[in-house]
Every structure is written in C-alpha cells, then in structure tokens.
C-alpha cells in the first residue's frame, strides 16, 4: 500500500511543489528543489511568520546575517567542540556512519559495495560543513557554513541594540539557510543537509526568563495551530537534563505526529546568557545592560523559538492531504485543504472553454482583481476540461475557483466554487473582489 509520504512525493513532483535536486543526473540524496507551486507555498509560510512576529509586534526587529562567519564565532559558541555525532568507521572502506545504520544493515557495512563486518569504536565527528575562503586553498583558509542562524544575532547584539533603541525585553527575528552534515537523512524534506530556519532570539531579564520561556511555548503552539493544523497531531516534550544542548537551561520541543512517529517540529530553548557571555569574553566586549532604577548591570537571558521552514511546510502538506469519494461520479478526489493564509494560489480564473470572448472577459477579470490587490497569486487556466482544471486546483490547495461561462457575457456574473465544500455561488462582477476577500477571510 502506498504510504502518505510516497503520495506526497508523487503529488509534489506532478504539481510542481518539490523536485529531486539534480534529478536528470540521478539525484543528490536528501536535497530538494522547490518548484513553481512549492516556491509560492514556502514564501507564503515565511511571509506569514514574518508578518505575525515582526510586523504585528513592536518588540521584535529584523536581521539578515551572512552564512559565513569567522571560525572564532563557532569556536566561541561551542559548535566546533560540541556540534558532533558519534560515528563508526569501517576498517575496510573507511566509510563513516551512525550505529543505527549498522543496526539496520544487521552488522554489515551499510555502503553498497562493501561487505565488511569489522569496525572501529565510535568517535565524535563534527557535523558542520567546511569550505575554503580566498584564492589559496589551505588549512588556514578553511571556514564553516553556519549550522544555525542564531550566532549572527548574538555577535551583532551591540549593533542591534544601539541602532534599534529597543529596551529589554525585545527580540530579533531572522529567516535564513543553515547547513548540517547530517549522517542520517530522509523522510522526504524532514531531515536534509541544507535547510531554512525561522528563528527569534528574545532577550529578557534573567529573573523573567522562566515566564517568557513559557509564553513563547504557548505563542509557538498558537502560531502553528493558526495554520489549521490538527491539534491532536501536536504535543509538547520537555528535554531531560542530560539531553539539553551545551547552551540550554531548558528546552521544549513541539512535536508532530509524522507517519513514522512523533518527531521534533519546533524547539523553544532558554539559552540563558551563555552566548552573550561567551562572545563578550572572547571579543572583549561588554554586552551587559545597565538598569537605571537599581544602578546594576546584568547580561540578558535569551529565549529562542526556532522552527524549520521545510518541516513546517511538510506538516502543512501532511495535515492538508485528503482523498475523498465524490458521490456524483464515484471518483476519488485528492485535495490539499491548505489554510488560505499560505495557499500557493488564492484564486483560479477558469473560463468554461477557449472561446475568444470568454478568454477576453476572463483575462480582464484577472487583471482587475490583481490591480485591486489583497488576494495574492491569481492563476489563469483555460487548458483541458473544466473538471480536470478543478482537480488540479484542488491538488495544489487553491481555496476558490472562478468559472466564467457564456451566461457571464450576458448577465455580468461568474460562479465561485469552494475547494472544501465544492459548493458554487453565482456572484455579480461588481462585488466579486469584496466577495472573494470575505470568502478567504471566513474560510
């Protein structure tokens, strides 16, 4: 029986959500490209997150830090020393892999061309990607691709607080790529080596850190639920003391019930003052805050809600995927019931046929709606039968379709079709834009 992940992978390629990277050459494992529809969905998710946390609040400012930093940043943050996985090395082919890969292969080297059963003891190997900077390749030119976006915020703390003139508590938001040389990848876009993160570093007084830590757990859960994610598929898991990262005073994961089981979707961490203290000492900077009423100084604690764009996109697809029996023709309809907040296409314009007069009116309607704004992407499609076009829009999650028929030329009305109910409503063109806005808002 075809799994939901297999169905999503097939749908993603067929409808332009996600393609295998370098597919024409056999594909680069666990590396994916977002197609025309997927790129829209990904952008809408990032825009929704940005608007929710940056534009709708006055206590969070923005940053876009570079992917490359001096190695001193990663030495000071502890990533060079601590960002590692225990790996086993094959004594024959020298391949390295995690012990769970060996368990799956039943004690035989899991590489394709090796049947060795003798291995070295597990050793720690750093998961950061290395590259070289400058025209000369040498040990001194090695530099890391960032494994997280947070450090760009910490090393810019003084610049941000001086230019934004924000007072504690306040946060810094960033969306950007990160790279981790993961040993175990897979499950479609769940775990990849190149991914995009949406992170906030929220600076608070040390004595207030527990309060804001709990607030951000609640805020993060509410944000995910606002995308119409089924609450029964979400749960909170607090890390045990021995599982905490080297910088963490407390971490809670929001986990999602994936087809393979519960796994991390978002992490909310109380990073304490570890990062600011470390960079302050290493760079001989004073990142402490002077509090006028008490005439004292303190180094802010940091609460970090961090979520991967790709994982959030994956759960929106998993939660939205539906197969329904259509009683009228006894066929199975595949539909993505995506929240209209993030759906790649908000409205589809579908003339009943390729008749020239219908096409002209339909394109005019599209231009008029686009000129008024507020609706997002409006797609025009006149190829294939109207039934097939409805099915395509259902599969990419378009909430509303507008059909222009021959009566439209006479009565100045069009038909709006609802994706989820498939109910149709005849609407006058003069009120079309306002009706669509209301329909999407009330979805």
| Structure tokens that stand for 396 in this block | 């990419």
Number of residues that this document lists for the chain = 443
Angle ∠(338,339,344) on CA atoms, nearest 5: 65
Residue pair 416/429 in contact (Cβ under 8 Å)? The answer is no
Give per-residue pLDDT as tens, 322-368: 999 887 777 889 999 999 999 999 999 999 999 999 999 999 999 99
Q: Is residue 409's pLDDT more than 90?
A: yes
Query: Would you say the CATH fold of 345-441 matches that of 4-70+145-316?
Result: no
Task: Give the SS3 label for residue 278.
Answer: helix
**Do 77 and 166 meet the contact criterion of CB atoms below 8 Å apart?**
no
CB neighbour class for 265 (10 Å; exposed up to 12, middle 13-18, buried from 19): buried
Query: Each residue of 86-95: pLDDT tens digit?
Result: 778 888 887 7
Q: Would you list the DSSP string of 70-104?
A: -HHHHHHHTHHHH-EEEEEEBTTT--EE-HHHHHH
> Which pLDDT belongs to residue 298?
95
> pLDDT by residue (tens digit) across 204-215?
999 999 999 999
For the chain, give every domain's residue range: 4-70+145-316, 345-441
Name the more confident of 108 and 153: 153
- CATH architecture, domain defined by 4-70+145-316: 2-Layer Sandwich (3.30)
Cα–Cα distance between 171 and 200 in angstroms, integer? Answer: 6
Q: Which pTM was predicted?
A: 0.90
Predicted confidence at residue 294, as pLDDT, reads 87
pLDDT band, very low/low/confident/very high, at 147 (cuts 50, 70, 90): very high
Contact 88, 102 (CB under 8 A): yes
Structure confidence at residue 81 as a pLDDT band (50, 70, 90): confident
Main-chain phi, psi angles of 259, to 5 degrees: -55, -25
Counts for the chain of helices (H) and strands (E), in that order: 14, 23
Work out the burial of residue 46: count CB atoms within 10 Å of its CB; fewer than 13 is exposed, 13-18 middle, 19 or more buried. middle
Tens digits of residue pLDDT in 167-201 = 999 999 999 999 998 766 779 999 999 999 999 99
**pLDDT at residue 104, rounded to an integer:** 63
The class level of CATH for 345-441 reads: alpha beta
Name the one residue in this structure whose structure tokens are 């149709």.
424
Give the Cα separation of 433 and 439 in Å (integer). 10
Is residue 160 a contact partner of residue 64, using CB atoms and an 8 Å limit?
no
Q: Which helix (H) or strand (E) holds 308?
A: strand 301-308
97 vs 243: CA distance, rounded Å? 21
DSSP output for 153-210:
HHHTHHHHHHHH---SSEEEEEEEEEE---SS-BTTTTB-SEEEEEEEEEEE-GGGHH
Instruction: Say if residue 39 is exposed, middle or buried (CB neighbours under 10 Å; 0-12, 13-18, 19+).
Output: middle
Question: Across all residues in the chain, what is the average pLDDT?
Answer: 92
Contact by Cβ (8 Å): 182, 128:
no
Return contacts of 218-225, CB within 8 angstroms, 24+ apart: 219/305, 220/254, 220/266, 220/268, 220/305, 220/307, 221/254, 223/49, 223/52, 223/53, 224/254, 224/265, 224/266, 224/312, 224/315
CB 383 within 8 A of CB 351: no
pLDDT at 217 over 70: yes
């Amino acid at each position: 029986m075809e799994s939901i992940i297999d169905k999503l992978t097939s749908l993603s390629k067929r409808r332009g959500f996600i393609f295998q990277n370098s597919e024409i050459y056999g594909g680069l494992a666990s590396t994916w490209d977002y197609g025309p529809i997927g790129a829209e969905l990904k952008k809408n998710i990032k825009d929704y997150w940005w608007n929710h946390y940056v534009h709708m609040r006055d206590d969070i400012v923005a940053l876009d830090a570079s992917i490359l930093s001096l190695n001193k940043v990663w030495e000071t943050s502890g990533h060079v020393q601590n960002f590692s996985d225990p790996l086993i090395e094959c004594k024959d082919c020298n391949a390295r892999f995690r012990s769970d890969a060996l368990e799956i292969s039943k004690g035989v080297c899991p590489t394709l061309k090796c049947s060795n059963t003798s291995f070295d003891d597990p050793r720690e190997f750093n998961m950061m990607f290395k590259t070289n900077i400058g025209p000369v390749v040498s040990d001194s030119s090695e530099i890391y691709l960032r494994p997280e976006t947070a450090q760009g915020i910490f090393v810019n703390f003084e610049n941000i607080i001086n230019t934004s003139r924000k007072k504690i508590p306040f946060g810094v938001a960033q969306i950007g790529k990160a790279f981790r040389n993961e040993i175990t990848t897979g499950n479609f876009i769940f775990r990849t080596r190149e991914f995009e993160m949406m992170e906030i570093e929220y600076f608070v007084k040390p004595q207030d850190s527990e309060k804001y830590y709990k607030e951000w757990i609640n805020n993060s859960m509410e944000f995910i639920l606002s995308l119409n994610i089924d609450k029964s598929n979400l749960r909170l898991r607090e890390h045990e003391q021995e599982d905490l990262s080297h910088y963490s005073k407390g971490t809670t994961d929001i986990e999602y019930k994936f087809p393979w089981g519960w796994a991390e979707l978002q992490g909310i961490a109380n990073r304490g003052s570890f990062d600011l203290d470390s960079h302050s000492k290493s760079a001989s900077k004073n990142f402490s805050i002077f509090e006028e009423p008490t005439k004292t100084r303190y180094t802010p604690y940091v609460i970090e809600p961090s979520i991967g764009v790709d994982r959030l996109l994956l759960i929106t697809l998993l939660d939205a995927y539906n197969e329904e029996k259509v009683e009228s023709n006894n066929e199975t309809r595949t539909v993505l019931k995506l929240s209209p907040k993030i759906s790649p296409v908000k409205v589809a314009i579908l003339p009943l046929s390729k008749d020239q007069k219908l096409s002209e009116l339909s394109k005019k309607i599209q231009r008029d709606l686009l000129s008024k704004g507020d609706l997002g992407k409006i797609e025009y499609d006149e190829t294939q039968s109207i039934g097939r076009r409805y099915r395509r829009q259902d599969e990419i999650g378009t909430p509303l379709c507008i059909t222009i028929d021959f009566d439209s030329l006479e009565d100045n009305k069009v038909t709006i079709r609802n994706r989820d109910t498939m109910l149709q409503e005849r609407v006058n063109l003069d009120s079309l834009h306002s009706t669509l806005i209301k329909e999407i808002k009330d979805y």
